[in-house]
Chain A
Amino acid sequence: MNIHEYQAKELFRAAGIPVPPGEIATSPADAETIAKKYGGMVVVKAQVHSGGRGKAGGVKLAKTSAEAREHAENILGMEISGLLVEKVLVTPAEDIETEAYLGVLVDRKKQAATFMVSREGGVDIEEVAHSNPDAIRTFTVDPRYGLLPHQALWLANELYDDPKLMKQASKIIGQLYTAFIDGGCSMAEINPLIATPTGEVKAIDAKVTIDANELFRRPNVAEMRDSSGEPPSETKAREAGLSYVKLDGDVGCCVNGAGLAMATMDLVKYYGGEPANFLDIGGSSNPDKVVSALEIITSDPSVKVILFNIFGGITRCDDVANGIVEAMKRIDIQIPIVIRLTGTNEKKALEILADAGFSAYTSMDEVVEKAVELAGEA
């Protein structure tokens, strides 16, 4: 789960990391009031779940509060990567001497939290990794002991030569690790970590991704979810316990299991169609889940045909069949549905479907070809 910069900064502040103050504005007038309060130069920053905010014109420096208002007017309501900006962060501008990069994430290969530090901050770290990999130092934290003080110092030493800056950075690295663990994060990044001309080290940006599996035990972090950036259909799917990602095609897919769901989308493309979504109805599919899945798929106006691909293991085919029949009673579906069911309780499922006037395929290729053909005709 992604959280906004201002929320990530709250987590950082709670861990003791020096972060400049800032407040959220949802209107140009608010932005002006906040800027007046701080006096001097401020930065107006779009709060949206997307990288590249600066390049898109979503981050602006303002010399006066009137200018802050003007920037907020432009930024609020703009779209960045297709996401509507509804909030801006107004924060005092800092004098910058140097910009560094400090991040920690869960490394799959090392199977533990791994730090990345670089003196080349303020730019996309993936670009640095590509163009100048030697400029990045990584360090994997042993989960048995956590980050040890000397390890934080080693990393700080990579960032600064001045001992005063090094000491501050070392402390911040330890605090970032604490924020990372306490927040249940899979990624926490400060880019840039700045040193000011007066010799202070501060975090002026913050990016955090939370491991969704942690939310059950971190209600304070769970509250940070902002669904406004996602399509309503994805919010609804999450609440119904379904994995759903909206795509641009017209073949609506309803599959059990993530791997098979991806393979089904790929096969739609193979036969010349375009999938409208990824949807995994999960392992034990009770009929209600199937109903929710159909409601979500049919709420997308570009969907021209609905494709079911069910391989019954734990999922019982008859449950899915009952769900389809139930959904047809509850919602008015005007587009064709093609169904492939095989595995556990397949026979029972085919009988249920036949009684309701449906037929089903047993091969994945046949059903996908049929779905693509129907989408083409519609």
Chain B
Amino acid sequence: MAIFIDKDTKLVVQGITGRDGSFHTTQMIEYGTQVVAGVTPGKGGQTFDGPGGKDVPIFDCMDEAVEATGANTSVIYVPPAFAASAIMEAVDSGVDLVVAITEGVPVLDMARAHAFAHDRGVRILGPNCPGLLSPGKSKVGILPAQIVTEGPIGVVSRSGTLTYEAVFQLTSVGLGQTTCVGIGGDPLIGTNFIDCLEAFEADPDTTAVVMIGEIGGTDEQEAAEYVKANMSKPVVGFIAGQTAPPGRQMGHAGAIISGAAGTAEEKMKAFEDNGIAVAKRPKDIVGLIQDALA
């Protein structure tokens, strides 16, 4: 098993003809993801030339694409100005999961899009996230396939490349993954740590979870309390930004320490207080997971 995506995931790529959209569509098809449709307004009726002769039909709108192909998941590589609209279109089309890769979406646009998705019971992952990957089953987004392998560890993170670092180290010692999820670095995200922890707890193949957080907000603190109250599986944590100065945005729009809230120190303490082993360095994650599973 895996969480959120698996072999039955049938994917529509919104923005399939763009530079990023076309590059990553090829990568996803090569990994084995069932990419059943693409959407680019004005290019309906054309075909995306996928690798290995796996061509993908392109539609003008999401409702057409979903009706024609039975897609249940969408991934969005649409520029920031149009991303929230694309997300809401996907939500309206009947898919269950919308993965928003786009970075730089205005926060107030996302407030509307999240409310819209919430009303219709559709899960959004992101925006400003690398997507997710269930090794051996499906890849949706931009996570590099060469660093993952099948196994029992669930990985959830606010970061992109830091996730790769952690997954790469797990894989290098033979600790494979059920699913690796990047929830995104923005202040308003659709799927948070707790949603992922809940799914990993329910997934019979996941035996332990790695949770990678960073400065800003209180999601990690709430997730830590959730772990203590609801999880039987061990969780290992890491927090980036111990050396970040207060009041400055560290790349991610959501990574900013405001007042005394959201510091790495506070988050690491919340982890420790709630029984989550804290890795001091990314490298230490592996040893802590091995200890937890021993």
List the interface of chain A (C-beta within 8 A of B).
106, 108-109, 111-113, 126, 142-144, 181, 184, 186, 211-214, 216-217, 243, 245, 247, 255-263, 265-270, 275, 278, 280, 283, 311-315, 342-344, 364-365
Instruction: Output the least CB separation between A123 and chain B (Å).
Output: 14
Closest residue to B19 on the A side, CB-wise? A284
Task: Provide the residues of chain B in CB contact with A343, threshold 8 Å.
Answer: 144, 146-147, 164, 168
Q: How many residue pairs at the A-B interface have CB separations less than 8 Å?
A: 165
Closest residue to A1 on the B side, CB-wise? B249
Task: Provide the residues of chain A in CB contact with B287, threshold 8 Å.
Answer: none
Return the contact of A262 from the options B143, B215, B254 (Cβ within 8 A). Answer: B215
* Residues of B in contact, count (CB < 8 Å): 62
Return the contact of B142 from the options A108, A181, A278, A313 (Cβ within 8 A). Answer: A313
Instruction: Output the least CB separation between A67 and chain B (Å).
Output: 33
Roughly how many angstroms separate A206 CA and B245 CA in the complex, as a whole number? 25
Task: Provide the residues of chain A in CB contact with B253, threshold 8 Å.
Answer: 211-213
Task: Provide the residues of chain A in CB contact with B163, threshold 8 Å.
Answer: 259
Contact B164 A311 (CB under 8 A): yes
Roughly how many angstroms separate A263 CA and B165 CA in the complex, as a whole number? 10
Contact B245 A256 (CB under 8 A): no
Which of A143, A212, A270 has the most chain B CB within a 10 Å cutoff? A143
Dominant SS at the A interface? mixed
Task: Provide the residues of chain B in CB contact with A265, threshold 8 Å.
Answer: 241, 243-244
Contact A186 B107 (CB under 8 A): yes
Return the contact of A108 from the options B161, B168, B217 (Cβ within 8 A). Answer: B217
Contact B111 A112 (CB under 8 A): yes
Q: Is B240 an interface residue (CB 8 A)?
A: yes
Roughly how many angstroms separate A255 CA and B103 CA in the complex, as a whole number? 18
Contact B162 A269 (CB under 8 A): no
Q: Is B12 an interface residue (CB 8 A)?
A: no
Assuming A275-B243, A364-B282, is B112 touching A108 (CB within 8 A)? no
Contact A266 B242 (CB under 8 A): yes
Task: Provide the residues of chain A in CB contact with B219, threshold 8 Å.
Answer: 108
Return the contact of A213 from the options B106, B116, B280 (Cβ within 8 A). Answer: B106
Chain B 108-145, CB within 8 Å of chain A: the 1/0 string? 10111011100100000000001000000000001110
Q: Is B52 an interface residue (CB 8 A)?
A: no
Task: Provide the residues of chain B in CB contact with A268, threshold 8 Å.
Answer: 243
Contact B251 A269 (CB under 8 A): no
Assuming A342-B168, A365-B281, is B243 touching A313 (CB within 8 A)? no
Contact B168 A111 (CB under 8 A): no
Contact A143 B252 (CB under 8 A): no
Instruction: Output the least CB separation between B74 and chain A (Å).
Output: 20
Task: Provide the residues of chain A in CB contact with B250, threshold 8 Å.
Answer: 243, 245, 258, 261-262, 278
Task: Provide the residues of chain B in CB contact with A211, threshold 8 Å.
Answer: 106-108, 253
Given contacts A106-B108, A262-B244, A343-B144, 10 further A-B contacts (CB under 8 A): A181-B108, A213-B80, A213-B106, A216-B80, A247-B245, A258-B159, A259-B240, A261-B250, A262-B215, A266-B243
Task: Provide the residues of chain A in CB contact with B264, threshold 8 Å.
Answer: 266
Instruction: Output the least CB separation between A80 and chain B (Å).
Output: 14
Task: Provide the residues of chain B in CB contact with A313, threshold 8 Å.
Answer: 130, 142-144, 160-161, 164
Q: Is B105 an interface residue (CB 8 A)?
A: yes
Task: Provide the residues of chain A in CB contact with B217, threshold 8 Å.
Answer: 108
Task: Provide the residues of chain B in CB contact with A342, threshold 8 Å.
Answer: 168
Contact B281 A267 (CB under 8 A): yes
Contact B165 A260 (CB under 8 A): yes
Contact A270 B281 (CB under 8 A): yes
Give 23 CB contacts A-B under 8 Å: A108-B218, A113-B111, A186-B107, A213-B106, A214-B107, A217-B106, A243-B249, A245-B245, A255-B161, A258-B250, A259-B158, A260-B160, A260-B162, A261-B251, A267-B282, A275-B243, A283-B103, A283-B160, A311-B161, A311-B164, A313-B143, A343-B168, A365-B281
Q: Is B81 an interface residue (CB 8 A)?
A: yes
Contact B248 A262 (CB under 8 A): no
Contact A269 B245 (CB under 8 A): no
Q: Is B292 an interface residue (CB 8 A)?
A: no
Contact B115 A106 (CB under 8 A): no
Return the contact of B104 from the options A108, A186, A213, A311 (Cβ within 8 A). Answer: A213
Contact B142 A314 (CB under 8 A): yes
Contact A259 B245 (CB under 8 A): no
Chain B 231-262, CB within 8 Å of chain A: the 1/0 string? 00000001011111100111111110001000
Contact B111 A312 (CB under 8 A): no
Assuming A259-B214, A364-B283, A365-B281, is B106 touching A106 (CB within 8 A)? no
Closest residue to A257 on the B side, CB-wise? B161
Roughly how many angstroms separate A312 CA and B162 CA in the complex, as a whole number? 11
Which of B105, B164, B251, B283 has the most chain A CB within a 10 Å cutoff? B251
Roughly how many angstroms separate A126 CA and B105 CA in the complex, as a whole number? 28
Task: Provide the residues of chain B in CB contact with A262, threshold 8 Å.
Answer: 162, 214-215, 240-241, 243-244, 250-251, 255
Instruction: Output the least CB separation between B221 and chain A (Å).
Output: 11
Which of A184, A256, A268, A283 has the most chain B CB within a 10 Å cutoff? A283
Return the contact of A245 from the options B105, B107, B248 (Cβ within 8 A). Answer: B248
Task: Provide the residues of chain B in CB contact with A217, threshold 8 Å.
Answer: 81, 106
Roughly how many angstroms separate A262 CA and B164 CA in the complex, as a whole number? 14
Instruction: Output the least CB separation between A146 and chain B (Å).
Output: 10
Q: Is B156 an interface residue (CB 8 A)?
A: no
